[in-house]
Amino acid sequence: MRRPARFRAGQEPEIAELRKLGARVHTRRIEPSDVRSAGTAGRRRFHVCAPPGLTRSVLEWVGDEHLRCATFTY
């Protein structure tokens, strides 16, 4: 899956900006018991959903104007 330019490894996305645009954003810390590799433990998982009829800017944040939801792990 192609990542938006603003979602770079090691940086948290601008959650407040996404929410202002109307996207639903769920954040969850990844626990060591949730992963097979210790390298992803302690990171955060962001799930971004753009509601129907939302502006194109949120869909660009999600990474694909035809994709309604996307999950990013950082």
28, 34, 38, 40: CA torsion to nearest 10: -30
Helix count and strand count (H, E) for the chain: 2, 3
Task: State how many domains the chain has.
Answer: 1
Q: Determine the structural domain holding residue 60 and report its residue range.
A: 15-73
* pLDDT on residue 71: 63
Decide if 31 is inside a domain.
yes
Instruction: Write out pLDDT tens, residues 6-55.
Output: 445 444 556 677 777 777 777 776 666 665 555 555 566 767 776 666 65
Cut 0.75: pTM above it: no
- What are the Cα distances from residue 19, in Å, to 26, 34, 48? 10, 27, 10
Query: Does an H or E element contain 72, and which?
Result: strand 69-73
Decide if 2 is inside a domain.
no
